[in-house]
């Protein structure tokens, strides 16, 4: 049974569950039945390929609240509500909130089957379109999120998947790992790419000016407000709002932001008129927001509003095989920017790069590459292995160095093995054995190098 013909059905009445199970089961659907919305929500995510049917009135989480949560997970999830005769007005409101359809009790099986057929067909089309977009995005992302390591490929896959899901998310990563680049990629390859990408550095947002900065103001709202001004949230409507260093936002400002995100509207300072806003919030933090919310330094309700999905960017030291490739990329980029000829990156330099711990991650690496491209000395970096890396086993250091040399030759030769064999002076069999032992994929490196040959933007 195709994934797109799966159905989740929720009703707290046993008789209704039994009847619907029989009807949909005989029609060939892959059915998951639950007696509560709480249990059903554990099985609903943006990759769910079918439709959801729920009774409107239930104990605990009712059908309307289930709809709200499902739409937050994925606005394109088809949710069908089963209503009583007196609930039609509520059901119409649910349609406004994003419900696919509603079925009024009592109903005949044919009515249910027809609605489910249409809902599943729509979901199948949505999932196929996402698959096609994801395939195109993965190719383009190779020139934005650079690297041949498994960690880099996993990050590209995650970004390609999440770009097609209009959900809020939190990006975690150390300073300099490229959280802003990932946020920009999520926008550029996502459903809101035609809208504005508006970035706010929350650490530099003064509490006294935060309300004007976020929501805007009318002329005369306060001293020196000579003319009206559009706020960041209003400017981001239809696009993406990137909240960088969200963990640094003052608690009082967090409350105002939460209200705007929940109500999907803002009021400019000095105005009594609500302005609707439609934004996708993406937050970035170097701290664990869940832990911060539990300690009281971050609003718990704002954390749950933002963290529908969480994406972790690995530090550079956990993808060390990408360091030589990234360094050469940034050297070429800096050379082009400053009108210089790119300098060759020799074995001694590669060894020093791999020995460095990179506490500043990709930002630090890019700065080092720019200094190298300009011929400036960098004694703090290009020196023998530092203590933190020298403590690693010798075999690990040798493997990392050997992998970097082979991958660089493969990238330079476009994956042509005969050229690599000639450059390195090793027999083909020996090279094949080394590549298998070190997990080097020739085709992937050649493809990545082709994508990176025309630099687009740095990390």
Is 53 part of a structural domain of the chain? Answer: yes
Judgement on whether residues 177 and 306 belong to the same structural domain of the protein: yes
Domain at 70, CATH number: 3.40.50.2300
Judgement on whether residues 345 and 294 belong to the same structural domain of the protein: no
Cα separation, 386 vs 353, in Å, equals 10
Judgement on whether residues 257 and 193 belong to the same structural domain of the protein: yes
Is 333 part of a structural domain of the chain? Answer: yes
Pairing type for strands 169-172 and 280-285 reads parallel
Is 145 part of a structural domain of the chain? Answer: no
Domain at 431, CATH number: 1.10.8.60
pLDDT of residue 173: 94
Judgement on whether residues 336 and 213 belong to the same structural domain of the protein: no
Is 358 part of a structural domain of the chain? Answer: yes
Judgement on whether residues 269 and 328 belong to the same structural domain of the protein: no
Is 139 part of a structural domain of the chain? Answer: no
pLDDT of residue 91: 72
Residue 242 belongs to what domain range? 165-312
Calculate the alpha carbon distances from 251 to 208, 217, 280 in Å: 13, 21, 21
Judgement on whether residues 341 and 288 belong to the same structural domain of the protein: no
User: Is 315 strand, coil or helix?
Assistant: coil
Is 371 part of a structural domain of the chain? Answer: yes
Q: 121 with 297: CB under 8 angstroms?
A: no
In sequence order, what DSSP letters do the residues of 210-221 get, joined into one string? HHHHHHEE-TTS
**Residue ranges in the chain modelled with pLDDT below 70:** 1-4, 85-88, 132-139, 220-221, 223, 225-226, 377-397, 444-459
pLDDT of residue 378: 59
Cα separation, 25 vs 174, in Å, equals 49
Cα separation, 407 vs 393, in Å, equals 22
Calculate the alpha carbon distances from 83 to 12, 60, 65, 170, 345 in Å: 13, 17, 14, 36, 69
Q: Of the residues 280, 296, 312, which one is the last residue of a structural domain?
A: 312
Q: How many domains does the chain contain in total?
A: 3
In sequence order, what DSSP letters do the residues of 399-421 get, joined into one string? HHHHHHHHHHHHHHTTT-HHHHH
| Residues in CB range of 384: below 8 A, 6 or more apart | 352, 355
Of 69, 38, 315, give the one whose Cα is nearest residue 168. Answer: 69
Is 144 part of a structural domain of the chain? Answer: no
Tokens of residue 251, six digits = 């608690």
Judgement on whether residues 178 and 308 belong to the same structural domain of the protein: yes
User: Is 285 strand, coil or helix?
Assistant: strand
Of 28, 19, 65, give the one whose Cα is nearest residue 50. Answer: 28
pLDDT of residue 240: 96
Q: 96 with 64: CB under 8 angstroms?
A: no
Judgement on whether residues 263 and 323 belong to the same structural domain of the protein: no
Calculate ∠ Cα 281-157-444, nearest 5°. Answer: 145
Judgement on whether residues 297 and 411 belong to the same structural domain of the protein: no
Domain at 188, CATH number: 3.40.50.300
| Residues in CB range of 390: below 8 A, 6 or more apart | 355
Judgement on whether residues 323 and 422 belong to the same structural domain of the protein: yes
Cα separation, 407 vs 377, in Å, equals 26
Of 136, 130, 126, give the one whose Cα is nearest residue 164. Answer: 130
Judgement on whether residues 124 and 173 belong to the same structural domain of the protein: no
Cα separation, 71 vs 438, in Å, equals 44
Judgement on whether residues 61 and 175 belong to the same structural domain of the protein: no
Q: Of the residues 312, 346, 365, which one is the last residue of a structural domain?
A: 312
Q: How far is CA 239 from the centre of its chain?
A: 15
Phi, psi of 190 (to 5 degrees): -105, -170
Q: Of the residues 287, 312, 337, which one is the last residue of a structural domain?
A: 312
Q: 168 with 305: CB under 8 angstroms?
A: yes
The model's pTM is: 0.61
In sequence order, what DSSP letters do the residues of 156-211 get, joined into one string? HHHHHHHHTS---EEEE--TTS-HHHHHHHHHHTSTTTTS-EEEEEGGG--TTTHH
Is 155 part of a structural domain of the chain? Answer: no
């Amino acid at each position: 049974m195709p994934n797109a013909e799966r159905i989740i059905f929720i009703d707290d009445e046993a008789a209704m569950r039994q009847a619907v199970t029989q009807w949909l089961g005989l029609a060939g659907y892959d059915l998951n039945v639950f007696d509560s919305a709480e249990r059903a929500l554990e099985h609903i995510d943006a990759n769910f390929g079918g439709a959801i049917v729920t009774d409107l009135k239930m104990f605990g989480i009712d059908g309307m609240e289930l709809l709200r949560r499902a739409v937050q997970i994925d606005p394109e999830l088809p949710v069908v509500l089963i209503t009583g005769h007196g609930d039609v007005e509520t059901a119409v409101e649910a349609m406004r909130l994003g419900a696919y359809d509603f079925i009024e009790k009592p109903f005949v099986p044919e009515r249910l089957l027809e609605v489910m057929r249409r809902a599943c067909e729509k979901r199948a089309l949505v999932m196929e379109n996402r698959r096609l977009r994801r395939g195109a995005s993965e190719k383009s992302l190779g020139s934005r999120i650079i690297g041949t390591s498994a960690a880099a490929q996993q990050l590209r896959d995650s970004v390609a998947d999440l770009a097609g899901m209009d959900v809020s998310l939190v990006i975690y990563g150390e300073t300099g790992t490229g959280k802003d680049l990932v946020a920009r990629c999520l926008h550029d390859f996502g459903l809101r790419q035609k809208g504005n990408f508006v970035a706010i550095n929350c650490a530099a947002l003064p509490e006294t000016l935060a309300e004007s900065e976020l929501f805007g103001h009318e002329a005369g709202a306060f001293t020196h407000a000579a003319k009206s001004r559009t706020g960041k949230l209003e400017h981001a409507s239809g696009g993406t709002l990137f909240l960088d260093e969200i963990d640094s936002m003052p608690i009082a400002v967090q409350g105002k932001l939460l209200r705007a995100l929940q109500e999907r509207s803002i009021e400019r300072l000095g105005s009594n008129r609500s302005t609707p806003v439609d934004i996708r919030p993406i937050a970035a933090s170097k701290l664990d927001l869940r832990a911060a919310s539990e300690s009281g330094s971050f609003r718990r309700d704002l954390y749950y509003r933002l963290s529908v999905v969480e994406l972790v960017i690995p530090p550079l030291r956990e993808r060390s095989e990408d360091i030589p490739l990234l360094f050469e990329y940034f050297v070429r980029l800096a050379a082009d920017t400053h009108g210089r000829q790119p300098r060759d990156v020799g074995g001694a330099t590669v060894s020093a790069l791999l020995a460095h711990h990179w506490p500043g991650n990709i930002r630090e690496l890019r700065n080092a590459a720019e200094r190298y491209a300009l011929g400036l000395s960098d004694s703090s970096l290009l020196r023998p292995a530092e203590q933190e890396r020298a403590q690693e086993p010798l075999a690990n250091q040798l493997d990392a160095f050997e992998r970097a040399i082979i991958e660089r030759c493969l990238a330079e030769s476009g994956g042509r093995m005969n050229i690599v064999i000639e450059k390195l002076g090793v027999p083909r069999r020996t090279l094949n054995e080394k590549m298998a032992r070190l997990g080097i994929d020739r085709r992937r490196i050649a493809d990545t190098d082709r994508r990176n040959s025309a630099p687009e933007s740095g990390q």
